[in-house]
Structures are given as C-alpha cells and as structure tokens.
Amino acid sequence: MKKKILVTGGTGYIGSHTTVELIEEGFEPIIIDNLYNSEAVVVDRIQKITGVKPHLEIFDLCDQEKLDRFIQKNNDISAVIHFAAYKAVGESVNKPLEYYRNNLLSLIYLLDIMKHHGIPSLVFSSSCTVYGQPEKLPVTENAPLQPATSPYGNTKQIGESIIRDTTVSDKNIKAISLRYFNPIGAHPSALIGELPRGIPENLVPFLTQTGYGIREELKVFGNDYNTPDGSCIRDYLHVVDLAKAHVIAIKRLIEGKSKTNYEVFNLGTGKGVSVLEAIKSFERVSGIKLKYKIVGRRAGDIEKIWANPSYANKELGWKTLSSLDEAMKTAWDWEKMFRNNKL
Ligand code: WQD
C-alpha cells in the first residue's frame, strides 16, 4: 500500500518538483493548493513525467473547515510537506499583514489539524533568509538567527519556532525544517519549472526571460559589495536536488530515524556564486550574450551567504549533484520549452 503524503502548495515551483520525486519513490502525494502562484495544469505535466496524475484539491489552507473536512476524508495521510506560503521578499515589505496572516495562520491550522487527526510527521519549507547576514560563512544550522530583514523572512523564523514549540509540547509530532538556499533550474524534461507570475523577483527567471527577449535587460542590483566582483553572493542549488532532500526527510520521519523531535538542515551546494558569475554561467550554457546594467542595491538584500551543507550531507546522506551550469541549462531549456508553447 503506497504511503499517502499531503503536499501543500504542490503545484508550485518546489512543490511540483518534490511531487515528482515522491511519485518516483513509490509514495502517493495528494496536493492542496489555492493556485495563488501556480496553475492546476501542473498536475497534467507531472503525469506526463511520471505516468501518475496526483490528486489536487483547490482551496486555501486558511479555510479551517475545508481543511478539516479534507483530512477527515483522507484519514490515511502518513506525513505532510508544507510548501504553501507567500514568498516574495519585496512584496512582503509592502503587504506585511497578508504575509503574516497567510503564512502563519495556514501553518497553525495545519498543525492543529495534524494533532487532532494524529498525523505525526511534518517537513517544513524554510529558508536561508532566517539567517539574515551571517557573521560567519559558510553558515551552519547552529548559526545565530539575525533579525529578519523582511516580513517574509520573519514568517519563516516564526514558523520554525511555532513548529519547534509544538514538537516540544506534543511528543507525537515530529518535524524537520529544511532551510533552502537559492533553488534554481527545472526538471530535465522541461515540462515543469519556475513560473513566476508577472515580473520575476528572483534572479534566474529574470535572467532566462531576458535571454529569451521577454525582458529588455537584467538589472544587477549593485556591484559595490565587499565581494570579489562587487556583486552579491548566493548558494544556487538545482531544484531537483532540493526536491530529493524532501523525500529523504519524509522517509527519515516515517521510519522513525530522526535524532530528536525537531531537526533543521541547510540545503545548499556549499559554494558561493556571485550575480555576475551566474550571468556568465547563463551565457556559457545558452551561447547568448546577456544584456544587463549595473544599478543601485535592492533594499533588503544581504551581501553574501552560502551554506555549510555538511550536516545534511552526513545525517541525511544528501548532497547536491548538479553543477551551476547544469542547473542553469535546465532553467534555460524550461524557458524555451514554455515560451515556444510546446507544453
Ligand atoms: C539573488 C541575487 C539580488 C534579481 C530569495 C528569498 C529566499 C529564497 C530565494 C525562498 C540577489 C540579485 C535578483 C534581479 C539581481 N526564496 N538580483 N537582479 O533574494 O537571494 O532570496 O529567493 O526560499 O528566501 O529571499 O534571491 O533571486 O531574488 O536574488 O541583481 O533582477 O540576485 O540582488 O543578490 P534572494 P533573488
């Protein structure tokens, strides 16, 4: 009998890639998504990749009654992976209440329902944003968490505390928070990928849209940072490597292999890459000379961050497999596939 895994936000960027990996590992993912930042057609594309069309329920996790009815109907859920959240740093500064309400209320309702229905395991989609600008690099899981630089980052910090405190108060709940660094790229089939609504906030989708000619030019937000080439440094990991880590985390919880009721793992390559180096990677894999302009810094950006992934490497037996160029090529292949309407 396949174990049923609830994937909230499962038609989104990381959620859809994780749903593919869950199916390929013999699980039965079931998705709740309100399609705020994704499209229902993603489940058809997942079916093209895996041969399995995951069940999709379309509603908002903040609708407590609907969520309770859903869990009553699906009383054989073994674990939950919680992706559903608003995640645009800039937008969160302009709409803090929407971010706190959506990201925190949905998590609180989900935990309540899990406790009520005896669902014991949760994997939480967290972010390296919780670190702010780390004093020491590469950053480890026990680095002090600096005050969040955005309401989005704060919802991740508070979310982790809510989960940790719940696992302390209720020994039946075990959880793992996965702190993502910068996920990029797309499934090698180019049937699913990152599809931001409107003007992309994140670097790589803006890069590939500029390469395709949808955007006039890329604005590089600052080259006066204290880094080798002056542009910000991040840890870009392939989204499929990231998705695989979620399956490992789910197995760890279901098989009772967690060391404590609440664990945290950094998911990154361990390598810092600057914005200008990312542009060069795109130019190598696409053969296109990218049009870009150096402009002023973006508010809220930290200067540099990259992971020390050794704890996840050792404890989860997980590490990233794709190089920057390999990940960037999948992002470019996805952009072309999607824009050429081959989907
Ligand atoms: C990366 C670098 C920008 C766009 C955010 C979230 C984080 C995670 C990943 C969820 C920065 C520069 C960007 C552009 C640019 N999300 N940039 N021109 O801000 O590191 O992280 O996304 O888990 O939680 O905070 O990612 O891709 O926006 O920026 O120069 O048009 O690219 O200044 O240095 P970020 P990003």
341, pLDDT greater than 80:
no
Residues 133-175 pLDDT 10s: 999 999 999 999 988 888 999 999 999 999 999 999 999 999 9
Q: Is 206 in the pocket of ligand 1 (CB under 6 A)?
A: yes
Q: In whole angstroms, how far apart are CA 297 and each of 128, 158, 224, 232, 283?
A: 20, 27, 8, 9, 23
- Contact residues for 106 (Cβ-Cβ < 8 A; gap 6+): 8, 60, 61, 62, 84, 85
Q: Which atom of ligand 1 sits closest to the CA of residue 300?
A: 19
Q: Name the pLDDT band for 227 (thresholds 50, 70, 90).
A: very high
313, pLDDT greater than 90:
yes
Q: Name the pLDDT band for 300 (thresholds 50, 70, 90).
A: confident
Q: Name the pLDDT band for 9 (thresholds 50, 70, 90).
A: very high
Residues 190-208 pLDDT 10s: 999 998 778 998 999 999 9
| Widest distance between CA atoms in the chain | 57
CA separation for the pair 37, 341 (Å, rounded): 20
Higher pLDDT, 6 or 341: 6
343, pLDDT greater than 70:
no
For residue 138, what pLDDT is reported?
A: 98
Helix, strand, coil percentages in the chain from 3-state DSSP, rounded to 5: 40, 20, 40
- Which entry of 99, 152, 180, 236 is annotated as an active-site residue? 152
Mutate to test the pocket of ligand 1, among 14, 150, 203, 220 (most ligand atoms within 8 A of CB): 203
Q: For the ranges 49-58, 143-152, 310-319, which has the lowest average pLDDT?
A: 143-152
Q: Whose CA is nearest to atom 30 of ligand 1?
A: 220
- Mean per-residue pLDDT over the chain, rounded: 96
Residue 197 corresponds to which tokens in the numbers above? 């609504």
Q: Is 87 in the pocket of ligand 1 (CB under 6 A)?
A: yes
Q: Is 303 in the pocket of ligand 1 (CB under 6 A)?
A: no
Note whether 252 and 184 are within 8 A (CB): no
Write phi, then psi, for 263 (nearest 5 degrees): -130, 155
Q: Is 220 in the pocket of ligand 1 (CB under 6 A)?
A: yes
Note whether 30 and 5 are within 8 A (CB): yes
Amino acid at 183: P
Q: Is 234 in the pocket of ligand 1 (CB under 6 A)?
A: yes
Distance 183 CA to ligand 1 centre (A): 10
Range 51-77 average pLDDT: 97
Residues 105-125 pLDDT 10s: 999 999 999 999 999 999 999
Q: Whose CA is nearest to atom 23 of ligand 1?
A: 127
For residue 342, what pLDDT is reported?
A: 61
Q: Would residue 152 show up in a list of annotated catalytic residues for this protein?
A: yes
Q: Whose CA is nearest to atom 9 of ligand 1?
A: 182
Range 19-27 average pLDDT: 98
Q: Whose CA is nearest to atom 8 of ligand 1?
A: 182
Q: Is 202 in the pocket of ligand 1 (CB under 6 A)?
A: yes
Q: Is 219 in the pocket of ligand 1 (CB under 6 A)?
A: yes
